[in-house]
């Protein structure tokens, strides 16, 4: 999710909106500050130092799973949203959620999920001149990743909206500068997290705002920089599975514009990512507009006979099959796994009576349909939660019907 959508998620109770290593070896690195050694000057005209100061030989231990094999092990994932990616306060609690605890991560596993997406911000923790990320923040992210590995969860770490420096600027005028920053950030992130086994994946970005072929070419350069920077740090990162995002993580745009694929020195270790919030009238729209109404209801058997103005006119079960099925054809059938990094639908608690009953039934059915159809097409669904599904302070389930729909 982008910043504006994340705020909407908190305000509207948007629980779902806008994320493997070999079994014999399990890395359990102790969180530690970033290396104290001074980075070397960068080549290629970058204004930032070269942070790849301690590359190590490629290490295959704990990295047996290809992208396809890792995706097969990730049945259903959960986003810990509006937390590590929170911007504006230099704190994971600045958007109102508590700090992520070991107990909460264990509770995620006990609730039926076997993968976690950690949306993460970096730019606000970095020096504006040198792009050096605060070692304390790197250590904190490493600590949370350790919680996930200790719970035997696959975990995806990304550069999320992050103030929009990359996401809102997939443009030729910012391409060179953003590639320098992308390289500097991923050199540091990858080095800090290098010792974790194959259950940890890295994702280049979040929802890069791309609508044209020109912008797509810029985005592909960002992805290539990401891949090259991670691989160059060596160790387990030479074999780590990496995730690259389609344009705007939109299915239709991905079909239209993502006609190429990045180059990787390690074969079979890349995944694609899209997000699924179709139809937005149902999942995120908060007021009727001149061009169309909100959809309060969704799916067969859940339409209203009295509030027909808010019945869906598009984007139901057939759209799920068509859109997700197209990602199977475009990627999965060619040996490239697809992460549905975010999906879900807001809970319209202002409704009452029969309208609320139908809406809640629609929401449960929507979540179940997207999760089950994703898995049927070989895609890996990650539900977007900002604290409305699982209570992060008390470690209790807040919406048992949606949870059952996701994990069934």
Alpha carbons 192 and 186: distance in angstroms, whole number: 10
Give, in order, the Cα–Cα distances in Å from 256 to each of 195, 336, 368.
37, 17, 28
Residue 62 CB partners (closer than 8 Å, separation 6+)? 21, 22, 25, 26, 27, 197, 198, 236
- Catalytic pick among 5, 85, 342, 360: 342
CB neighbours of residue 73 within 10 Å: 16
Structure token digits, residue 159: 């550069």
- Catalytic pick among 207, 273, 316, 360: 207
Structure token digits, residue 152: 């035997």
Alpha-helical segments (H) within 151-212 = 172-192
Active site residue 207: yes
Alpha carbons 288 and 215: distance in angstroms, whole number: 31
Active site residue 317: no
User: For 103, left (φ over 0), alpha (ψ -120 to 50), or beta?
Assistant: alpha
Cite the active site residues.
207, 342
């Amino acid at each position: 999710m982008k910043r504006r959508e994340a705020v909407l998620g908190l305000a509207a109770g948007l629980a779902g909106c806008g994320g493997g290593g070999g079994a014999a070896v399990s890395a359990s690195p102790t969180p530690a500050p970033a290396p104290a050694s001074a980075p070397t000057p960068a080549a290629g005209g970058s204004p930032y130092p070269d942070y790849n100061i301690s590359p190590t030989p490629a290490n295959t231990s704990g990295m047996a799973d290809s992208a396809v094999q890792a995706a097969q092990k990730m049945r259903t994932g959960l986003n810990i949203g509006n937390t590590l990616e929170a911007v504006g306060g230099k704190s994971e609690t600045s958007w109102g959620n508590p700090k992520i605890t070991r107990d909460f991560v264990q509770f995620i596993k006990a609730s039926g999920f076997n993968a976690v997406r950690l949306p993460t911000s970096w730019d606000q923790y970095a020096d504006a001149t040198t792009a050096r990320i605060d070692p304390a923040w790197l250590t904190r992210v490493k600590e949370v990743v350790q919680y996930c590995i200790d719970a035997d969860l696959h975990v995806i770490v990304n550069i999320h909206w992050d103030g929009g420096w990359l996401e809102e600027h997939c443009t030729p005028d910012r391409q060179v500068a953003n590639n320098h920053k992308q390289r500097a950030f991923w050199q540091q992130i990858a080095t800090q997290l290098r010792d974790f086994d194959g259950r940890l994946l890295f994702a280049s970005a979040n929802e890069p705002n791309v609508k044209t072929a020109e912008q797509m070419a810029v985005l592909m350069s960002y992805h290539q920089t990401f891949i090259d920077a991670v691989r160059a740090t060596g160790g387990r990162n030479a074999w780590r599975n990496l995730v690259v995002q389609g344009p705007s993580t939109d299915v239709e745009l991905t079909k239209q514009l993502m006609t190429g694929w990045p180059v990787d020195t390690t074969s079979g270790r890349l995944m694609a990512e899209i997000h699924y919030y179709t139809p937005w009238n149902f999942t995120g729209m908060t007021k009727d507009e001149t061009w169309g109404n909100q959809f309060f209801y969704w799916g067969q058997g859940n339409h209203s006979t009295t509030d027909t103005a808010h019945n869906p006119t598009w984007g139901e079960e057939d759209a799920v099959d068509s859109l997700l099925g197209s990602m199977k054809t475009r990627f999965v059938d060619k040996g490239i796994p697809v992460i549905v990094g975010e999906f879900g639908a807001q809970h319209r608690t202002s409704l009452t009576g029969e309208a609320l009953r139908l809406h809640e039934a629609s929401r449960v059915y929507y979540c179940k349909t997207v999760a089950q159809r994703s898995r049927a097409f070989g895609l890996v669904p990650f539900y977007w939660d900002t604290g409305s599904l699982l209570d992060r302070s008390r470690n209790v389930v807040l919406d048992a019907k949606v949870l059952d729909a996701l994990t069934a």
